[in-house]
Structure 1
Amino acid sequence: MATSEKEKPFFQNINADDGPEVTEIESICVNCEEQGTTRLLFTKIPFFREVIVSSFSCDHCGYHNSSLQPGGSIQNKGVRYRIRIKNQEDLNRQVVQTPSATVLIPALEFEMPPNKGVLTTVEGIIDRAVDGLEQDQVLRKIQHPEVAAKIDEFVKRLKELKNVEQPFELIVDDPSGNSFIENPRAPNVDPELSVMHYMRSTEQNHELGLYTQAELQDDGTKKSEEENFTGEDEVMQFQSLCPNCKAQCETNMKIVDIPHFKKVVLMVTLCDECGYKESEVKGGTGIEPKGIKIDLHITNKRDMLRDVIKSESSKIIIPDLDFETGSGTLGGKFSTVEGLLIDIKTQLRDLNPFFHGDSSQPDLVTKLEIFCQKIDKIITGETLDIHFILDDPAGNSYIENPHVPDKDPELCVSHYERNFEQNEELGLNDMKTENYEDS
């Protein structure tokens, strides 16, 4: 049945004017077994993705708890955040810790195994670890006093971390790729925060409930014809879920041969329910032997119209603005220089709930607004003599050279050997391509 207005997205930004839409359901209290209330909030984390925040409370015994679950799908790669805590402000960094994430503090040789998901802070993680260790300490001091004494000593060392008398590192390792640590310096690079994406092992995939088609097929049947699709002149369509409202929509896929570059796979998703549209590009010929760094010197407005292929492993660097994205930011794109700059501005301002309403942070709003104004001046040609750099360890990115076959004086392309960390992120360190039948 047709409706007079479009349905709202399932996962909505927090809006101070309308108020968050909270779903309430009755559920049994695990403490007193009376009826309690569970509240669910489906929302988005700024610069991140969809999450489900749940909170339970019982009016009979006063018991309450809260948890966080990823609202989107499991990511293609796992993620490992490493943050260096240097002062009290760093303790206030927000952290999304999913049920599959492991937290490590190398200085104390401490590891917190996967538990329930939470939206917390670095200080909250430490407090949570302390609470877990102190649980049952009264009984433990009676039954195992030596063990209890060692735990008390370790808890003391954990609590001392909050004084930040000396810097320490905290690591969040999540095979699902859905955990997150805030960068308060966005859109600038955070020198104290490093993010590494990696290919999951077979064991990690199984722990997340992911299995290959071969593992699921006991009879050893061959792959279907659809899985062997290689037609370059055909457009393949398949059903998918809209990333914005989660409604059923169609994704179109086609193999395209880019002149003077290589074959790529273009994927376009369009949702009739909410109007969301997204295009993505993936390399069609695998990972190159070397990484590539493409430096475009923007000297006139015509440079904004150059075609660009940004692979999902590529970083965007604008050194004149002290700006650098992570390798997974914006995904794979087939666009123009102008289009990528607009995408950066949209990601930072229009898609950021903390930029509007009562939840906005004045300092962050001012900083991002100034940055977006600088982006606008580059797009309009008011600011020139800017370097726009794509750094892609997979070697699958490209910026058009309108002077081919002649060399472009404003375009510098260099190839480099990947380091261990880059090979690890691309899943190459554990890949065996020779004599693999003997392994």
Structure 2
Amino acid sequence: MSLIGEDEVRGVSAVFKELSAEDDDMQPTVIESLCMNCYANGSTRLLLTKIPFFKEIIISSFTCDHCNWSNTEIQSAGRIQDQGVRYTLHVRSKEDLNREVVKADSATTKIPELDFEIPAYTQKGSLSTIEGLLERAASGLEQEQPTRKATTPEVAEKIDEFIEKLKRLKDFEHEFTLVIDDPSGNSFVENPCAPQKDDALTVSHYTRTAQQDMQLGIKADGDAEEEVDEKPGNDIDTLRNEVLVFNTNCPECNAPASTNMKLVQIPHFKEVIIMATNCDSCGHRTNEVKSGGATEELGTKITLHLTDSSDMSRDLLKSETCSVAIPELEFELGMAALGGKFTTLEGLLKDVKDLIVSNNPFTCGDSSTSGRAEKLQLFGKKIDQVIAGEMDVHIILDDPAGNSYLQNVYAPDPDPELTVEKYERTFEQNDDLGLNEMKTEGYQ
């Protein structure tokens, strides 16, 4: 049985009217309020409105006639949504700066090109435009600049440079990306093409984590453990859409860092686990790929005849147990030398060049000889020729675990330049993989 009757629904619709400058009935409600700046009485204007293709909001504006202090903010008039929302807008023209934006106080705002982020709950909710968001961010950074210039002039100088970058974005000197991530689902970025699709705007909805539910106040701290217990029973499709984050230490400076892990399905192959670790302290970055399945019954040998530079764009999965060979260059790289990688063929060859030429400790110092350095430099030039498509060579990926892959650009039809062979592993290969002493039955 519904607790709200039809008359009440009509009443709610009448109270929350669509935002329009031509509606004479849209008059704000004025309430006498205490000024938190001078503690005299000021006035707050409340306007209950509805944003087209979005929802109802409350806009409040406070002004004080005594000290001229003012403040504006918005609050959602609806409930917290079932899912969080993430808006990704590619600002391609100056007109995009005029898009209306509802930013709830629980939303995080990012500009990846500037590596800039406004964390959640550091600003009040606002109804503004893209240009207004940038102006507000620049003004917030400018507030403490006089103090910084007196105490830490180096920091103040860097912040001045960053403020200039924000102002250049506000004047639209180049394209950029704006990301608004709100776990409450109550933020909004205008689609001027509505109800048609906006090519510049991507909207994605996601399931909140237990920590986000606690931040929003809709779940107690003790409920987090219950959710962790329920996670393993989630559907595998949900797991594919999630990026799991684990706390760890940086392998370079041992500072606290985080590792992101995601399950990815490679077409015409299998699932793999991609892991990436970023350290904010020293800037060290690593990425690694693990097979999402078991060791195959047969090993795999993949041979590709390079006939065109377009082959460099083929997707490639190299597991830790895979070796790489180029017979024409008399080159062979053993397993685990580069670790697991999910990249392109060009990316693999560049990593090989960096490992052999650029990052080789035997090319410098007391252990270096002129002949050895010249040979390695010549090898690097040959790798560059292979990447440019100027050399006719074969790339061989030999993985006894059967967990490596090279894209067939003709799939599902056979690739005339690609050969995939399955073979029985030798005793030595099984020993290297730890399979000879593995016991799965009859143990206690």
Q: Which band: TM-score by shorter chain?
A: 0.3 to 0.5
TM-score (normalizing by structure 1) = 0.47
Pair member with larger Rg: 2
TM-score (normalizing by structure 2) = 0.46
Higher RCO (Cα < 8 Å, 6 or more apart): 1
